[in-house]
Amino acid sequence: MNGEIRKKTKEIKNFLINKDASNLNKFIKSSHPADLAEIFNFLKKEERKELLSFLSFEEAANVLPKIEPVFLKELLDDIENVRLSQILEIMPPDEAADILGDLQKNRKKQILNLIKKEEADDVNLLLKYKEDTAGGIMTSDFFSLYSGMTVTEAIEKLRIVDISNISYIYVVTDNNNFVGVLPLRNLITADSFVKIGEIANKNTVRVTVDVDQEEVANLVKKYDLRAIPVVDNTNKLVGIVTVDDILDIVTEEASEDIYRMAGIKEDESLLHRSIPVAVRFRLPWLIACLMGGMVAAGIVGVFEETLTAVIILAAFVPVIMGMGGNIGTQSATIIVRGLATGSINIKDAWHLLWRELRIGLLIGIICGFAIGIIAQIWQGSPELGIVVGTSMTATVTIAAFLGAFFPIFFQRLGIDPAIVSGPVITTAKDITALLIYFGIATLIML
């Protein structure tokens, strides 16, 4: 929490404790919704509930979508259906759909029945689609005109609407089939009696409702779009995904990948959770790593005779395992990021694996030669130099391969590759490193 938010949170708490409704209302009206939402994250449950009661419908509509999901769920449980329906009517349809999507089925139905039919229809349309698809993140709030209109007729239509949020005019046929996009500048400079269907850009990038949100974000980034149209399977225009939605997706996906690479459940606000809850969500994958460590310890036990005979071998175990871990993490990070951004095609899997294998081999030879020379000079033992150098080369090569292999393999299976990049690769690398090191040592030094 930065200093400004800390100061504002303290003020809010004082207003609530002293029941100072006048100053509290002034504070709310002078604060940005994003700041208020952040303050909600640092209040206790009863304080959040009390502060929400001071917000008007419009203020609540601006603040609620920005509150951390785990606290939003608690707040929604405390809002009466009538009040919540009035708040949702003010929200953009996509934000209202996101909030309704977190409610129980029966309550969702009750609230939809309280919302005006037009708004409810828009929200129901969005609720039909999966949350992480173009249909799930799009908004049905866009401006479209029929392709048969003339430029003069289109401009007349624009005169009676608020154009401050219009980046594109979406051109459709009479039955709502998507034709193309018409920038405002092109409309204004066109001849008066030309039909807008003739000057619309028909080669517009579009997505269908079932396209994954990551792919949508990649297209917006690639083509530098402010919004992207979403069509159904019959090419009817049903919504658009705007650039602010894309920013939310990028943040969400990045956070999700980072959490999963660490083996943490990403849908929990662990920064704001109690210590026991944070431990509960972080512990499972660490237990899995611990079990992998026990397997590695078992391997050391198998080679106890080798280790006892040549005790200096133990000094190089951290170096070899550490280098394997570093190169494996590098490879995994490069592949996971490439898969997430769309810059890596899963069809190029064998080419990528072969490339990482060669990179790992070259790095392994360089590092292996260096540490082999150091080991030989330090202990005056050519055999130790050969063991350490060869083990380093083989470990780094295999770790680079595993770091690339696991993300690609799990992507093929339809599992998010980020989830295996931490614990699984670390465990696999440790086991293979010990097998290689002590195996080679046993063959050469005993």
The position carrying tokens 């046929």 is 173
Residue 276 lies in a domain: no
Q: Which residue has the higher pLDDT, 184 or 339?
A: 184
What kind and span of H or E run contains 228? strand 227-231
Residue 139 lies in a domain: no
Examine the fold and report which residue of 73, 100, 133 is the final residue of a domain before the chain moves on.
133
Name the DSSP class of 271: G
Give the gyration radius of the chain's Cα atoms: 29
Average pLDDT, the chain: 83
* Domain identity same for 235 and 86: no
* Domain identity same for 64 and 115: yes
Mean pLDDT (whole number) for 316-344: 79
How far is it, in rounded angstroms, from Cα 307 to Cα 188? 82
The band of 176, judged by pLDDT with boundaries at 50, 70 and 90, is very high
Number of domains forming the structure of the chain: 3
Query: Which letter, b or e, does each residue of 427-446 get, where b requires 16 or more Cβ atoms within 10 Å of its Cβ?
Result: bbbbbbbbbbbbbbbbeebe
* Domain identity same for 158 and 54: no
* Domain identity same for 117 and 165: no
Q: Has residue 194 got a pLDDT over 90? A: yes
* Domain identity same for 153 and 100: no
**pLDDT tens by residue, 351-381:** 888 888 999 999 999 999 999 999 889 888 8
Residue 39 near residue 15, CB atoms below 8 Å: no
Residue 347 lies in a domain: yes
* Domain identity same for 305 and 411: yes
CATH code for position 225? 3.10.580.10
How many separate helices (H) and strands (E) can be counted in the chain? Answer: 22, 6
The percent of residues in the chain predicted with pLDDT above 70, rounded, is 84
Residue 342 lies in a domain: yes
First to last CA, the chain: 59
pLDDT of residue 134: 92
Q: What residues make up the domain containing 432?
A: 286-445
Mean pLDDT (whole number) for 222-248: 89
* Domain identity same for 96 and 212: no
Distances (CA, A) of 49 to 21, 74, 101, 146, 341: 15, 9, 21, 47, 39
**pLDDT tens by residue, 379-411:** 888 888 899 899 999 999 998 998 888 888 877
